[in-house]
Amino acid sequence: MTEAYNWQQLERAADQPIWITDDEALAQYCKAWQALPLIALDTEFIRVDTFYPVPGLIQIADDKACYLIDPLKIEDYEPMVQLFRDPSVLKVLHAGSEDLELFLYMLGDLPTPIFDTQIAAGFLGWGFSMGYQRLVEHALDVHLEKGETTSDWLQRPLTNSQEHYAALDVAYLPALCQQQQAELAERGMANWAAEETALLLPQMPDRDPDGVTYYQRFSQAWKLSPERIAALRDLTAWRERICRQRDTTRNKVLRNSALLDIVNKWPTTTQALSRVEDVRHQQVRQDGEVILGYLKTAAESAAAKPPAPIQRPLGYQWNKPLKALKAMARAKAEELNIAPEILLRKKDLDALIRTENQGEFSLPPSLSGWRKEVIGDALLEKLQSLEV
């Protein structure tokens, strides 16, 4: 466990956070932070009409103060990259997925090791997917207002209210981390939480930048012919590339509902395309011919590169076995006093059942690690005994 970080002191420091607005200051602070056992991290960004997040602020808390790093003025982030790579400094976040995504986009790197207070709260039975305000109230009996959650973080100067709100987002994290670390160690769950949190990092890189597997998310399209599935594959891949090139949202290019309607209705003219629900006239003008082109070449595409089938939903015969397995997991979660959702996710059960090979099952990767010992092996044994 780390040395004590006084949350009352950091709460007071949040009234006057320290701005870091030039490369030299950032380098000095990063060097100082590398001598500490932990720092707290958070970000503020805008992501309304863009594919990538637009950074507005990076917040850090150490053992003495809260800091606001201005991404609109900093140019050299190499000192922060070195801080992020330092294995001796624990980086504490809350619900850190979006922050990690922003760091990877901005810096090309991720902080490690990390501790996520939301994940830890699930293991401690405080609640699943617990918001920061509720977590602070639960653990420290401090009530926080949500006032600036929809602020414009790109405006300058920020208001005093924005600065205070942003600083408070990191002020309590060190104390929360310490309290949770102590309870996790006492309950023998420290390694479980560390393993689960570490899984966030490999999930961050964009593993499908060309969008070639995105179509497999459309489970409702599993019955389509290979030609239509190829069209869906090619259209979604095109959309993924265009979104990144234009830095715009998927919905602005083509909604998921529109994609499905297009491959079902199969328009052959721009007039027919414009009649498809959720396809706007502007989209037809800008990309109509390209969209129709993918339909025209779908048969050729399917023949040249047959699309992998879309997994069909599990049949009704699995309803009773799934119910029995879920009940088993709920009982185990209650016994351990952890959030049921963190012990077993729906996708884990789905993956387990899909391992069937001539009546035999095996544990999928998502039920390895700490889950294998706690629930995975028992689920596997139970599933083998059930009649389907």
Main-chain dihedrals φ then ψ at residue 238, nearest 5 degrees: -60, -45
Catalytic residue, chosen from 29, 77, 86, 99, is 99
Of 44, 62, 163, 287, which one is the catalytic site residue?
44
CA distances from 38 to 61, 63, 83, 117, 275 (A): 9, 8, 11, 13, 57
**Is residue 44 flagged as an active site residue?**
yes
Q: Which of 86, 116, 148, 169 is catalytic?
A: 169
Angle between helices 256-265 and 281-296 (to 10 degrees): 50
Tokens representing 386 are 């059930």
The Cα–Cα gap between 30 and 338 comes to 36
Reply yes or no: is the peptide bond before residue 157 cis, omega within 30 of 0.
yes
CA distance 53 to 98: 9
Host H or E run for residue 115: strand 114-116
Q: What angle do CA 176, 178, 180 make, to 5 degrees?
A: 65
* Catalytic entry in 29, 42, 214, 261: 42
Show the beta-strand stretches assigned E in 297-367.
none
Rounded CA-CA distance 165/149 in Å is 9
- 106 alpha carbon, distance to own chain's centre: 16
Is residue 55 reached through a cis peptide bond, with omega within 30 degrees of 0 on the bond before it?
no
First to last CA, the chain: 48
165 noted as active-site residue: yes
Residue 39 β-bridge partners: 91
Helix H or strand E encompassing 44: strand 38-46
Active site residue 169: yes
Helix-strand-coil split of the chain, %, nearest 5: 55, 10, 35
What are the E-state strand segments in 131-179?
none
Which of 67, 77, 132, 165 is an active site residue? 165
- 92 close to 177: Cβ distance less than 8 angstroms: yes
> Which residues are known to be catalytic?
42, 44, 99, 165, 169
